[in-house]
Amino acid sequence: MATDTTIPIPSNLKNIASNDPIERAVIRRSQRPISAYALSLTEFEQKLVELGESAFRGRQVVKWLYDTDRLATSYDEMTDLPIALRAKLQESLPISTLTSVRELRSDNGDTLKTLYQTADGQFVETVLMLYRDRATVCVSCQVGCAVGCAFCATGLGGLTRNLGAGEMVEQTIDAARRAKSLGRPLTNLVMMGMGEPLQNYLDTMKFVGILNEPKGFGFGARRITISTSGIVPKIEALANEPIQVNLAVSLHAPDDALRDTLVPINKRWPVARLMAAVDTYIDRTGRRVSFEYALMGGVNDSDEVADALAALLNKRLCHVNLIPYNPVDVFSFTRPDAARIERFAGILEKAGIPTTVRYSRGVEIAAACGQLRSKHTAQV
């Protein structure tokens, strides 16, 4: 049986429930402190200088926060800093701004989903997935989502706000702690949680830069995958970034008629325009692009659709991740049977398209994007 641990909501956050949009906006502004995780190494050095200290102290704090043997959760742990400085930092720059309110663990223990409450009373999800050879964290970048894919629970309530870089970093470092407690190092990161990363581009790139900082967490860019539903101008911008992250495109259909119904952003940037941006990305970076394809029974899983997908991706430097649909209560979409999944994959492979079938992790703990958040907010 899956493990469900619900953690009481802190008293200072319980009353954030007003339906008045102006009141909620004031609450969001007043209760969104900047955390230590929001600062780059350079910004940390500048912060310590502002506090009348040496820039070296900033480097010390960064080491405490990100060294995998430390991953400090409080300034009190930073014993080589003066006590007075620790107090100053605690007052002006809290380490944590997310509170874990619910944790679910799959039956076999390989998937851990955490629901966090933000300082302004919103809810976001993070999933830690343990494989034989790697430990991957799936990070959220927005509260809700504006894209509104037809099969995704995240977009049901629209977009509330972007997450800051610090909130994304905190999800990652918390996952690293959890993996470490299970005897595993965190090896990979995918931005495939709640939200559209390329609609939160500046904070997404700052987040990646903070994690990649060699004197900080030192997380390799090639171990980070940014997923997008197809925000064409930002795909083109990403192609020009010096940092070498991986790109995944949530495709789900090979033609405009079908993709328009599944991924509404396709009406703005149709398949041909999207693929042109992908080609630009491949040409400029030399990196393979992954195409994510949620396989839904009777919707996008026919032989004809598989043939069209193979033709679309022919001769492109790419890989297809076929993801049999993870059912969501409020939608009628279903997962194809095993024979249909294998046949679809076989058509792509026969056409020379590298393909992997990736079954969703944690079906029994609502691990699909937005499911746990939707269920939790319906109960509070």
Helix H, strand E, coil C: the string for 258-300 is: HHHHHCHHHHCCCHHHHHHHHHHHHHHHCCCEEEEEEECCCCC
Owner of token pair 């980070």: 224
Q: Is 125 a catalytic residue?
A: yes
Which of 103, 125, 196, 292 is labelled catalytic? Answer: 125
Q: How many CB atoms lie within 10 A of CB 220?
A: 14
Which of 138, 141, 318, 369 is labelled catalytic? Answer: 369
* Residues ≥6 apart with Cβ < 8 Å to 98: 116, 117, 118, 119, 124, 167, 170, 171, 174
Q: Calculate the alpha carbon distances from 177 to 135, 185, 238 in Å.
A: 12, 9, 29
Q: Calculate the alpha carbon distances from 84 to 34, 47, 59, 90, 96 in Å.
A: 20, 15, 17, 10, 20
Q: How many CB atoms lie within 10 A of CB 352?
A: 11
Residues identified as active-site? 125, 369
